[in-house]
Structure 1
Amino acid sequence: MGLEINEYIQFMNFNSKNEKLYLIERNAPTPDEKEILKDIPFKQGVLDFSALLGSRVFKNREIEYVFMLFNTPYNQRKIVERNIKQKLMVHSKNKLFDTHDGNYYWLGKCKSVEVDNGEQFNQLKVTITFDCYPYMISHINYFDDYWDTFEFDEDVANYTKYIVNGSLDFPLFNAGSVAVKPEITVDNRFSVKVNDEEPIVFEAGSKQDYYLSLKPGLNKVRVEGTGTIRFHYQKEVMG
């Protein structure tokens, strides 16, 4: 009887557990920064404009998985190889799920699939590399009151839906590592002000505004209008 596969990844219709692949190595190094440096003559050091908008900006990151397929004849290994490549390489950017980070997903596409046949023990080594957005993204909106996925060491319980009659001030907490743009749903015309930014008007419906974001940590929100307003956002963390 073989060992049970407890760790696996899911990308579109590819599931490493269903392919009987055992995960033996996972590499997810931190992403490179998008550095904007200016070297001025006769001035010590360099000027770094990388965080000009208030936070560091990163390039995509590569996530590599190494799997092993055991006790499989050569002709079957070739079929498995073709199936893996077909299931992974034909798709564009999508969600990558990893049991290592059960409450989050990566967003990216498969960059390469490399295989190495081991004739002596009828095994196949499969190395799969994904090109991903630099941050992990939470599965659910914050805060949707799902206590099964609530991280007590990191999250903060926070109402994100309010009934307003005139004006209201309340906090919104972003437990992630980077600013996020919430989707705001209103049933009437509302003005929304976050921290010290200029107020933005939202008509009835749901939308994200390019100029409205929630910084990591506590955000002070003031809304003006009559009706119900909801904030939907997912935290992003540097996994």
Structure 2
Amino acid sequence: MYGITFNGKHSLKDMGLYVESKTINAPSKKKITDSVPFMHGFYDFSTVGSNGEQVYDTRTITVTLRIIAYSMEELHTVYSQALEWLMDSGKQKLQFDFMPDFYFTSEVQDAPDWDKFLKYGLLTVDFVCDPFKYSNSYMGDDIWDTFNFLTDYTQYTNTFEINETGPGTTVVMYNNGRLITPVINVSVDNMRLNFEGKTYYLTKGDNKLWGMKLKNGENVLHFYNALGTVKILFRWESL
């Protein structure tokens, strides 16, 4: 038996509900199309505003939870507690026991079916989720137990010393997920970053740069103009 963690509680350990079944649906592409008379097919504008990046709609994850209750009173009590746990919040982390390295950002919008719970001890819950799942750890964290030999990279991301104000320091970052905007933390003002031909001006503290995204695979970042330290923080995303 295994459970899920949602809204700060574990279904089995805290609520007495274990996962009977699950369906993790894939998200659909967001398509923006138009056609004109006498043309074959249609024009696809889906990636015009996203600079060529495919965008996706939400995904639905359906989980059926089961309880073994010994009385009708217990059944009513658990159902009421489950409603508060599932419904009394906005978006929360949803994590499955069998998938310890990733979580979904989810919300329960519709109350689970009471009739099925009453008759069979089953609670069917629809989680409306962001399209991607997110890694629990930051890229480069040294967590050997969740290392995936098919997709992960071993790399150092904690603190880079920028020792020269002239030539600066080149940092190579690997991203094993989708396009992602990292948080770049610098220790001083007036640090500059050159990435793929564009110059970004960094201020002391956390910087999240609009339009600057790390692609899948190798990314070369060049820091210069100030002495200090740089940290690059991001969680990878996956369908």
User: Is the 1:14–1:84 Cα contact (8 Å) retained in structure 2?
Assistant: no
Partner of 1:32: 28
Partner of 2:75: 77
- Between the two proteins, the alignment pairs up a number of residues equal to 228
Unaligned runs of 5+ in 2: none
User: Is the 1:14–1:88 Cα contact (8 Å) retained in structure 2?
Assistant: no
User: Is the 1:11–1:95 Cα contact (8 Å) retained in structure 2?
Assistant: yes
**Which amino acid is 1:85 matched to?**
L
Partner of 1:212: 212
User: Is the 2:140–2:154 Cα contact (8 Å) retained in structure 1?
Assistant: yes
In the TM superposition, residue 236 of structure 1 has moved relative to its aligned partner by 0.5
Q: Secondary structure at the match of 1:87?
A: helix
Partner of 2:195: 194
**Residues in 2 aligned to 1:165 and 1:49: alpha-carbon distance in whole angstroms:** 45
Q: Secondary structure at the match of 1:42?
A: coil
**Residues in 2 aligned to 1:12 and 1:57: alpha-carbon distance in whole angstroms:** 27
Q: 1:8 aligns with which of 3, 24, 28?
A: 3
**Residues in 2 aligned to 1:25 and 1:190: alpha-carbon distance in whole angstroms:** 51
- How do 1:75-114 and structure 2 match up within 5 A? 75-112=73-110, 113-114=112-113
- How do 1:28-177 and structure 2 match up within 5 A? 28-52=24-48, 53-112=51-110, 113-115=112-114, 116-117=116-117, 119=119, 123-160=120-157, 161-166=159-164, 167-176=168-177
In the TM superposition, residue 118 of structure 1 has moved relative to its aligned partner by 5.5
Partner of 1:181: 181
TM-score, normalising length from structure 1? 0.89
**Residues in 2 aligned to 1:203 and 1:14: alpha-carbon distance in whole angstroms:** 38
In the TM superposition, residue 67 of structure 1 has moved relative to its aligned partner by 1.4
In structure 2, relative to structure 1, the CA distance for the partners of 1:83 and 1:71 (3 Å cut) is closer
**Which amino acid is 1:213 matched to?**
K
In the TM superposition, residue 71 of structure 1 has moved relative to its aligned partner by 4.4
Unaligned runs of 5+ in 1: none
**Residues in 1 aligned to 2:38 and 2:146: alpha-carbon distance in whole angstroms:** 54
Partner of 1:229: 230
In structure 2, relative to structure 1, the CA distance for the partners of 1:62 and 1:74 (3 Å cut) is same
Per-residue CA distance 1:152-185 (angstroms, 9 max, x = gap) = 2111112223111221223211111x21111111
**Residues in 2 aligned to 1:149 and 1:193: alpha-carbon distance in whole angstroms:** 32
**Residues in 2 aligned to 1:67 and 1:25: alpha-carbon distance in whole angstroms:** 7
Per-residue CA distance 1:2-42 (angstroms, 9 max, x = gap) = xxx3x211112432103222312111111121111121222
Identity of aligned residues (%): 24
Q: Secondary structure at the match of 2:125?
A: strand
**Residues in 2 aligned to 1:206 and 1:13: alpha-carbon distance in whole angstroms:** 27
**Residues in 2 aligned to 1:185 and 1:13: alpha-carbon distance in whole angstroms:** 29
Per-residue CA distance 1:163-211 (angstroms, 9 max, x = gap) = 11221223211111x2111111111231112223x11111111221222
In structure 2, relative to structure 1, the CA distance for the partners of 1:21 and 1:43 (3 Å cut) is same
In structure 2, relative to structure 1, the CA distance for the partners of 1:51 and 1:217 (3 Å cut) is farther
**Which amino acid is 2:148 matched to?**
E
TM-score, normalising length from structure 2? 0.89
Runs of 4+ in 1 over 3 A off after TM superposition: none
In the TM superposition, residue 223 of structure 1 has moved relative to its aligned partner by 1.3
